[in-house]
């Protein structure tokens, strides 16, 4: 669950997530996903077996996005990512690629 500063309907939140490309967009980093956040409209997604390897395991799949009435401007959703790939294996490679690109390595 998240609470936004201003009212935000689920469709607008989904559009913002779909538009997000990350700070490394356009840098040409081989490990960077083209779409770091994938939003599913299917009410039964994301599912680990179907979505954990999205973008080579480097994307977060989001689904079941809806308003949360318990919060003033609340939204709730399910997020799924491949922690081993994104957090350890490919994540470390992506950081190294970024450091090389920035001239720090």
Instruction: Give dist(CA 3, CA 29) in Å, integer.
Output: 33
pLDDT tens digit sequence for 69-78? 999 999 999 9
Closest by alpha carbon to 76, among 63, 57, 60? 63
Instruction: Give dist(CA 68, CA 82) in Å, integer.
Output: 26
Instruction: Give dist(CA 20, CA 37) in Å, integer.
Output: 7
Give this prediction's pTM: 0.86
pLDDT tens digit sequence for 64-99? 999 999 999 999 999 999 988 887 888 889 889 999
The C-alpha R_g of the chain, in whole angstroms, comes to 15
Given the structure tokens 């009435």, which residue do they identify? 69
Q: Is 25 helix (H, G, I), strand (E, B) or coil?
A: coil
All domains in the chain, ordered by first residue = 2-101 (3.30.360.10)
């Amino acid at each position: 669950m998240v609470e936004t500063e201003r009212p935000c309907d689920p469709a607008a939140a989904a559009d913002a997530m779909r538009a997000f490309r990350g700070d490394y967009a356009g840098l040409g980093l081989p490990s960077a996903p083209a779409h770091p956040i994938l939003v599913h409209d299917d009410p039964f997604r994301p599912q680990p077996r179907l979505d954990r390897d999205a973008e080579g395991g480097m994307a977060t799949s989001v689904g079941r996005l809806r308003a949360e009435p318990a919060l003033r401007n609340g939204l709730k959703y399910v997020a799924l990512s491949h922690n081993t790939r994104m957090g350890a294996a490919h994540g470390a490679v992506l950081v190294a690629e970024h450091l090389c690109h920035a001239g720090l390595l």
